[in-house]
Amino acid sequence: MKTFSLQPSVQLFDTFAEFVTETKFGPEDCLLTAKFLRDTRFLPAGVKCTILCFEDYGMGEPTDEMIDKIMADFRKMPNCKRVIGVGGGSILDIAKLLALKQNGTALQLFEKSVDIIKERQLVLVPTTCGTGSEATMITIAGIPSKGTKMGLAVPQLFADTAVLVPELVAGLPEAVMLPAAIDALVHAMESYVSPRSHEYTRMFAREAIRLIVRSFATFLMEGRKAAMPAIAQDLLLGSHYAGVAFGNTGVGAVHALSYPVGGVHHVPHGEANTRLLMPVFNAYLAKQPDGRIHDLTFVLHRAFGLGPSGNPWTKLTKMLDLLLPPKKLREYGMTEAEIEAFSDLVIATQQRLLVNNYVALSRDEIRDIYKSAW
């Protein structure tokens, strides 16, 4: 049996002002956002509600310890009926947890050792073009005590409303936009070849790949200043469509192998995925070139607009190198000994993702992927 869920209702606004007008912020709302959005967007717009700012609790990607601090302050708002998350994937992922009954720590939620009950309306508004979190029932956080990241995937985490505002993405700096958009491309590619994929998920993944590849080509041709106003909506929709796809199929080895790298060496998620994308897919191509990955090759071929003799995997590698200059995992501080240690850690902690691999990868094959990226 194949199932497909398209859970949140979706609103698309041309401007931030339209979003504020329609959302009607009030005293029973809690807004979780970034300080610069609070100061440059929400306060000037006269938004009246409780505002929690991500940076007040820490910097970088979220950990369970950071989330516990946010939840402690959120519990001081017993009358909150609606949580509105506006920001990057980290902010959206945390907002999902605030919409739940506050009956345990973040780690207890991730380990499912407490009841997971949704108690509040949830509105999610992405300001980056990577995670697709607004479309998924997934939240991710670093768990320093375990030396990796953990994910929680339950229907209670679905937003009630996903809001897309291209204006919020158009001003993204290059260093934020590029790794985020590559992460969205990884979502679409991993979803496309997942054993759980089917006609509906592949439809969303194909369109995500087309939009993102086209946006990257425009960006490389015209440069950020000229390209961003034109490609902001395509990137935002591409990220959202990829979120719909992988929200139904899950992601696989690229994400599974990137989590220890990000968790231990604090490599941003999108960048860690970029470094492992081609090593993982090269392993897939070598192991089973004639399955679903053959179809993905054709999808990429069309997205790049190549002639009969063109190789889309070579083209993709070159494009990624132009977007983010190549960098080996050892340049982030990963040691040779960690190749073995991370391979064991992935096997021990990431089975939730490894079951979504295009083909099964043994512990030694995972080690060899790390070696090729190291």
CATH 3.40.50.1970 assigned to 9-168? yes
Q: Is residue 49 within 8 Å of 30, Cβ to Cβ? A: yes
Domain boundaries of the chain, sorted by first residue: 9-168, 171-373
Percent of the chain with pLDDT over 90: 85
Q: Label each residue of the chain as H, E or C.
A: CCCCCCCCEEEECCCHHHHHHHHCCCCCEEEEECHHHHHHHHCCCCCCCEEEEHHHHCCCCCEHHHHHHHHHHHCCCCCCCEEEEEECHHHHHHHHHHCECCCCCHHHHHCCCCCCCECCEEEEEECCCCCCHHHCCEEEEEEHHHCEEEEEECHHHCCCEEEECHHHHHCCCHHHHHHHHHHHHHHHHHHHHCCCCCHHHHHHHHHHHHHHHHHHHHHHHHCHHHHHHHHHHHHHHHHHHHHHHHHHHCCCHHHHHHHHHHHHHCCCHHHHHHHHHHHHHHHHHHHCCCCHHHHHHHHHHHHHCCCCCCCHHHHHHHHHHHHCCCCCHHHHCCCHHHHHHHHHHHHHHCHHHHCCCCCCCCHHHHHHHHHHHC
What is residue 81's predicted lDDT score, i.e. its pLDDT? 97
| pLDDT score recorded for residue 228 | 81
User: Which carries the bigger pLDDT value, residue 314 or residue 149?
Assistant: 314
pLDDT of residue 339: 97
Rounded to two decimals, what is the model's pTM?
0.92
- The answer to whether the beta carbons of residues 227 and 219 sit under 8 Å apart is yes
| pLDDT number for residue 150 | 86
357: nearest Cα among 288, 294, 259: 288
Average pLDDT over residues 274-282: 98
Residue reference for tokens 């946010």: 70
- Cα–Cα distance, 364 to 344 (Å, whole number): 9
Tell me the per-residue pLDDT of 21-67, one tens digit each, with 9 for 90 and over. Answer: 999 999 999 999 999 999 999 999 999 999 999 999 988 889 999 99
Residue 10 has a pLDDT of 95
d(CA 119, CA 102): 9
Q: What topology does CATH give the domain 171-373?
A: Dehydroquinate synthase-like, alpha domain (1.20.1090)
Helix axes 292-304, 269-287, angle to 10 degrees: 120
Does the pLDDT value for residue 198 go beyond 70? yes
Closest by CA position to 204, among listed 256, 248, 157, 161: 248
* Average of per-residue pLDDT across 207-233: 90
pLDDT given at position 291 = 92
* Whole-number pLDDT of residue 312: 97
Question: What is the predicted pLDDT for the residue at 7?
Answer: 83
Residue 309: CB atoms within 10 Å: 5
pLDDT tens readout for residues 289-303: 999 999 999 999 999
**How much is the pLDDT for 1?**
66
Whole-number pLDDT of residue 147: 79
Average pLDDT over residues 165-191: 94
Q: What is the C-alpha separation between 88 and 130, in angstroms, rounded?
A: 8
| 9-168 against 171-373: fold identical | no
Encoded tokens for 329: 């995992």
Mean residue pLDDT of the chain comes to: 94
